[in-house]
Structure 1
Amino acid sequence: MKAGFIKVALTMAVLTSAGMGTAHAAGCLKGAVVGGVAGHYAGHHAVVGAVGGCIVGRHVAKKHAQEQAEQRQQVRAE
């Protein structure tokens, strides 16, 4: 069990240091934690879940940032 968490931590360190911006890294980290836990309970696939969660987390964070930018533009236009 401890080795699985070490693998997830190393995977996250590599993904975070791979040149992602801070907003994308935050979404990646949150998604990876959720995905890693879900993957662990779904057949001991924590690393696969963490990678998938990172991808989904980055997508959600990017979408959220775009929505906030659009709202700011609408407020400025009024």
Structure 2
Amino acid sequence: MTKRIALISALAIGAILAGAPAEAKGCLKGAVVGGVAGHMAGHGKMGAAAGCAVGHHNANKKAKQG
């Protein structure tokens, strides 16, 4: 049950932050979402690092499209 709540919370935060403009090419937004999700799983720093990398990648992909 706790994992389900953590997942729902992380997804809700991600949905809220998805509407915000990309800061630092997506790294900050991704780090926040990844850090929260990683913290719930016991790996906050790894989650933040992975979230930063994914956010940066997605921001670059979006910049190339438009």
Asked if Structure 1 and Structure 2 have the same fold, meaning a TM-score greater than 0.5 normalized by the shorter chain, the answer is: yes
How many residues get paired?
45
Q: One-letter code of the match for 1:67? A: Q
2-structure distance, mates of 1:53, 1:60: 10
The 3 A distance-change label for structure 1 pair 40 and 50 is same
2:23·2:29 contact (CA, 8 Å) conserved in 1?
Answer: no
Instruction: Name the TM-score, length of structure 1 as normaliser.
Output: 0.54
Task: Write the mapping of 1:46-57 to structure 2, written as runs, cut at 5 A.
Answer: 46-57=44-55
2:53 is equivalent to residue 63 of structure 1: no
Q: One-letter code of the match for 2:50? A: G
Task: Write the mapping of 1:20-59 to structure 2, written as runs, cut at 5 A.
Answer: 25-42=24-41, 44-59=42-57
The 4+ residue runs of structure 1 with deviation greater than 6 A are none
Q: One-letter code of the match for 2:38? A: G
Quote the RMSD (CA, aligned, Å).
Answer: 1.5
Q: State, as a whole percentage, how many aligned pairs show the same letter.
A: 62
Secondary structure of residue in 2 paired with 1:41: helix
State the Cα deviation string for residues 34-71 of structure 1 (Å, max 9, x = none).
000000111x2110000000000000000000001xxx
Shift in Å, 1:25: 1.7
- Bigger Rg, structure 1 or 2: 1
The 3 A distance-change label for structure 1 pair 24 and 59 is farther
